[in-house]
Structure 1
Amino acid sequence: MNRRSQPTARRVLVSALVPVLVFAVALAMAGCGDDASGAETPAATPATGTTTAATEGAPESDQETAPQVDPLLTAPPFDVRRIRTEPDPDDTEERPCDVAFAEDARDVTDPEASFYPAGTVSHRIVRCAAPSGGGWLELAFADAAASEGVSVGTRLAFRLTSVTRGRQGYPVVSFLRVVGDAPDASGSEEAQNSPENPEGQQAPQVAPGFDFGRLRNEAALARRPQRCAVDFVSELVLLDETARRRAGYPAGTQNRLSAKCLHSDGDSWIDLIFSSDDAARALTVAPGAEITVEIESVDRGFAGRPMVRLAEEP
């Protein structure tokens, strides 16, 4: 090959390589769109707000929070008589009351102020229902308007203030809030106007028991246990040491209640006493119950009634 033909050959070679180089560069540029790690690049979120594959399954920070349920709403009904059976009742615990009866609210007067927590402006007596029995409380309100939310069929939350200092000797409690509807909103079983109204309690049918009026004339009957067919039960009373001694109750007596017992010729009354060890058994004494009692005295009980205590459990 002569010298003139050499440039011509180079031009032909370069012309042949140009398409090859262009094709290689195009392939390299196409690969630049892939992530070096091989992971899929998240797509941009569309303006319409549609969730993309990269955000699916992620927690939504703006999702509405579920409403908090008051723990007392699902708590079992509380027998408020328990307060008087506990040697040292907890005054910090929040407890529920299923309202079966409520008196009208009353403003606190100056002479009454010492019986209620500081800041109390009104008070209201309510009866609280429970399957084991009902009891009475005196609610103290720091806000007079709050008392308007208390009605039969509601469940409220309270905290104990005093066991015996209420207007009628009922436990005084601080009203905290209305929790919601009581599980059994009817309140029919406990809807009665007075704790000392025998006609207010509808006792289930029970077979007649012993006539305790016979004890005055038949002293030998006091030496053995007798059966009471309970028709009515009064409020459970907590006795301090002074009241115990004044009434002549045996040492160690903590609580008492009056019970009306049915017999074949009518009814008779007994004064049932409890020590601190068996005070919880007082909650089992209710209309319709059949209890066996041992006679402590024929006539030394409340209002001259027979003083008795529950017989030992077998």
Structure 2
Amino acid sequence: MLFLRREGKWDEVSYADMFFTLRNHPEWQKECGINLAPQDPLILSIEKDMRRDGVGKLKRCCSACSIGQRCLKLNEPEERMEDYVLPPINGDVGAGIEVEGAGNDIDSKGFTPITARTRSKIRPIIQAPLRQAMGANGPARIKVPFTTNELDAWKEAVKGYRDDPEVVAKRFELIVKNLDPDWKDIEIMLAALSETEKQLIVKTARTQVQIQVASGALPGTVEVHVPRADPNWDYNDENDYKMLKRYQEWIRIALENAIPKSVNWSRLYTIKQGTSETPSEFLERLRAAMQKFTTIDPSSEGGKLQLVSLFLGQSAEDIRRKLQKMKEPDIRDLERLVEEAWRVFRNREGNERQKLGE
């Protein structure tokens, strides 16, 4: 204290005063959770004063305390999975309602154990993906926020939506499988696109549903399956959860089909196999180009026939010469063509190693 006064550090006097107050009250240290190890400088200082007064050392409670380690009798509260599961709600409780007073029955108001331990007892509105956890009454779905990296990655992916909607649709499908976003989360994801793109996606989804409803293949109305406003589905209710899964699928289909394809067959014929490109990589490039620039499905029979022709004509020169010597029906079998191409590719690597050895 004298040092602080001498140096004129008046704003630090209150901190020093609090330090010495804690030093002289070890019971407060324990209550505040700072007396975790008996070799703490505060405790050593107290023992020094006690020895000076002839009182002796503080009593150690266990062997760990005697050597300055963490007390074996100190038990920290364990994390309970029930803290992350909504308890049964008795009655409707509005989101964001503050409950004052310590005497209120928190459980009867439908708050989780975590919010019951906060000062204001506020039940916030959380917008985040769903996770499944095990609670006292069995499995339940809970909300876990998107990370900043996840949101940034999605925003980066949708920048090229108009150029390659299939890639964005696949990214959305991956997010659905891993994070299981709900209606509000999907709204956040769609907001990363331009307003025109978002409206086009929603319109496409509703059109797809309208076709199914009109044909009698899908019960209900368009608004039920692709709602414009929050449907307030209960995701721990199986029927509502099924509605969410269908909605996710409708949005995926809409993402893939909302932007009309620009058919350009000439782009396929510009794709040539690189000198170091493997046959599998080359075939995958052909498939991706067919998916992007034509209306043909590469996995269909017609698509496979087109891929055979492209693979035969646009492979590397040494591979192409070998493939053209194949006989029917192998020359029309895409898998056999890829196998033979790989054989030539591996032999090429072996010949190069032999030349280097010479």
Interval containing the TM-score (normalised by the shorter chain)? under 0.3
Q: From the CA coordinates, give the structure whose radius of gyration is larger.
A: 1
* TM score, norm. by length of structure 2: 0.23
Choose between structure 1 and 2 for higher RCO, CA contacts under 8 A separated by at least 6 residues.
Answer: 1
Structure number with higher strand proportion: 1
* TM score, norm. by length of structure 1: 0.25
